[in-house]
Amino acid sequence: MSHTPQDRPDHPVYVVGGGPGGLAVAATLRERGVRAVVLEKTDAVGASWRGHYDRLRLHTTRRLSALPGLPIPRSFGRWVARADMVRYLEKYAEVHELEIVTGVEVSRIERAEDGENWILHATGGRLLTGRAVVVATGYSHTPRVPEWPGLATYGGEITHASAYRGPAAYRGRDVLVVGAGNTGAEIAADLAEGGAARVRLAVRTVPHIVRRSTVGWPAQRTGILVRRLPVRLVDRAGALTGRLFGPDLSRQGLPRPDTGLYSRVREGAIPVQDVGLVDAVRKGTVEIVGAVESLDGDKVVLADGTPLTPDAVIAATGYRRGLEGLVGHLGVLDERGLPVVRGARTPREAPDLYFTGFTNPISGMLRELAIDAEKIARRIAKSRSRAAT
């Protein structure tokens, strides 16, 4: 039996993921009178923030990190701590009276037979029908450890950075941190300050290192200003700024990068914001070594053949998006496993299927999530209004 617009069941919009992106979309939809149900696989919102290391603070300012409809309290300071970010997300869900179902994981999304709605396969064999779906499962979804030769038989201790909470478990130990992105850089500095006997940072590609703030001007504001400028122009400006204000750690094994800052951003490599690494490298409490090439018994072998025998290895080697099982069959992912379109645009093959939070922008992830949420909600509300007429 077919339904006319007047008697068609009013299925909700399902938002998959209860992190900042998902909550922001749900709040902006509710603001426009559209029912949104957030499905969160864990038992609370902001799961990824709950799991981050204790030292973490936002690299973006408080004012530029708030989600739509609720400022972050001034008492949290300019650079918001991890625990305070969790408190903010809890308050956000409460203030906006969001409809959140926890303990429900969505494993697959497919088009309903009517060609208009979506079917979500969820925990416990549930089949949920939504008129639109917003996937907000996060940029850092599935921890990734490179398939180093010898990994399966490595006899030493190795963990992914996602399991790191603080330096207490590593006091007095020799630790190798692999990966010089923001996470690896900060964990290395944290270990050095927290009493590890020796800390080495394995670097494959030399990162661009910038100050979080220069004379009170946050790096994020520069990112916002330049993000739509030509890549070459920003690369040149970045090189000049780096020479004037950036650290020169060539003697310690971190030469200035030979590729442009914004060129690297476009490839997905965000500059490292210095929150302790530069001082640690200069003091020698963090030693720079080459890339890890393989594992051999209880040894870690570097690209130049040097063997190391650390007490522990922390792999700050990034994440996968983990979208293949969820939507890979719909033809909406590119060769890197990222959505072909994001924000208010939907794939041609999958109208009413939205993605948010799958970029790592120089202008700040939370800021872009807030902008995306407004655009997505506006688009869905407009589509709903057309369907009702």
Q: Domains of the chain by range and CATH?
A: 13-141+321-388 (3.50.50.60), 144-318 (3.50.50.60)
Q: Does residue 182 have a pLDDT over 60?
A: yes
Number of helices (H), then strands (E), belonging to the chain: the values are: 10, 22
What's residue 289's pLDDT? 97
Q: Does residue 8 have a pLDDT over 70?
A: no
Q: Does residue 1 have a pLDDT over 50?
A: no
Q: Does residue 144 have a pLDDT over 80?
A: yes
What type of residue sits at position 164? Y
Q: Which of 19-33, 185-199, 247-261, 370-384 has the lowest mean pLDDT?
A: 247-261
Q: Provide, rounded to the nearest whole percent, the portion of the chain with pLDDT above 70.
A: 95
Q: Does residue 354 have a pLDDT over 90?
A: yes
Average pLDDT value over all residues in the chain: 91
* 31 against 259, higher pLDDT: 31
Q: What is the pLDDT of residues 84-139, one digit of tens each?
A: 999 999 999 999 999 999 999 999 999 999 888 999 999 999 999 999 999 999 88
Average pLDDT over residues 344-349: 91
10 Å CB burial of residue 168 (0-12, 13-18, 19+) is exposed
- The C-alpha angle 267, 273, 278, rounded to 5 degrees, equals 120
Q: What is the pLDDT of residues 307-324, one digit of tens each?
A: 999 999 999 999 988 999
Q: What is the pLDDT of residues 292-303, one digit of tens each?
A: 999 999 999 999
Q: What is the pLDDT of residues 234-271, one digit of tens each?
A: 878 777 777 766 778 889 988 888 788 778 777 777 88
Average pLDDT over residues 213-239: 79
What's residue 237's pLDDT? 78
Matching residue, tokens 């088009």: 111
Q: Does residue 29 have a pLDDT over 80?
A: yes
Closest of 163, 171, 231, 162 to residue 195, by C-alpha: 171
pTM, full prediction: 0.89
What's residue 386's pLDDT? 66
Q: Provide, rounded to the nearest whole percent, the portion of the chain with pLDDT above 90.
A: 72
What's residue 385's pLDDT? 67
Alpha-carbon span 269 to 27, nearest angstrom: 30
* 202 against 51, higher pLDDT: 202
Average pLDDT over residues 173-179: 98
Q: Are 139 and 20 in contact (CB under 8 A)?
A: no
pLDDT tier, 3 (very low <50, low <70, confident <90, very high otherwise): very low
Q: Does residue 6 have a pLDDT over 50?
A: no
Tell me the two tokens of residue 81: 């701590």
Phi, psi values for residue 23, rounded to 5°: -65, -40
The residues, ordered by sequence, that sit 6+ positions from 213 with a Cβ below 8 Å of its Cβ are 219
What's residue 20's pLDDT? 97
